[in-house]
Chain A
């Protein structure tokens, strides 16, 4: 399977603990995105990378959240001192470069990591 993969698929943690999620994008995709989705809502944008550069961060990404993509391939999302409000599905997506204003820049999403904070 050459799609976007995420690990782990499920994570249960106690409040105050740190957690780290991994995303492996489709190999030729240089853009990588993180979203968060709570029950009954659509995904909310968190942050975006182009290669190893983090180009945009949402206000939703508090100081307890940090995302990295050190070699421009896989990415990690770390949440420090987790709170119950962090319980959500964390989705990763990737896409090709978009040159010349082409409309063909669909995002491919992974299956997500479901985080439960007790």
Chain B
């Protein structure tokens, strides 16, 4: 699976959009981009994933660049409860099993 690079930490004001970048310049054509987050003392939680099109769900939006070498997770209206570590992961999807390779992630602090 391709390696990802994320900033170690970011701040965001409550109510504003949080934009979390991720670089995955070695991503291959069959690898998806996944985002998970981990709130303190809890297990990671799936947020969203995509291949090449932008995706949106009730939690967030995922913007993938045309060359797929980077992506941005957008939390449109950040709340204090969004303070967490956000992990960007790329992995192949196939009919077999898979393991998720986590990096250190971005620690997002949402401030009042």
Binding site for B on A (CB under 8 A): 4, 31, 33, 35, 40-45, 48, 50, 55-56, 58, 91, 93, 98-103, 105-112
Docked pose: A86 CA to B41 CA in angstroms: 18
A-B contact pairs, 12 of them (CB 8 A): A33-B99, A33-B100, A42-B102, A42-B104, A44-B102, A55-B96, A98-B98, A101-B94, A103-B49, A106-B49, A112-B41, A112-B43
Distance in angstroms from B45 CB to nearest chain A CB is 7
Chain B positions within 8 Å of A, measured between CB atoms, are 32, 34, 41-46, 49, 51, 85, 87, 93-105
In the assembled complex, the CB of B43 is this many whole angstroms from the nearest CB of chain A, namely 3
Of the candidates B44, B87, B99, the one whose C-beta lies within 8 Å of that of A91 is B44
- The answer to whether B94 and A111 touch across the interface, beta carbons within 8 angstroms, is no
Chain A binding surface SS class: loop
**Residue pair A106, B46 in contact (C-beta under 8 Å):** yes
- Assembly CA distance A108 to B93 (angstroms): 16
Nearest CB in chain B: distance from A116 CB, A: 14
Please, which residues of chain B bring their CB within 8 A of the CB of A110? Answer: 43
Within 8 Å CB of A48, what residues of B?
A: 97, 99
Given contact pairs A91-B43, A93-B43, A45 touches B97 in the complex (Cβ within 8 A): no
Which residues on the B side are within 8 Å of A106 (C-beta)?
Answer: 34, 46, 49
Complex-state Cα separation, A99 to B96, whole angstroms: 8
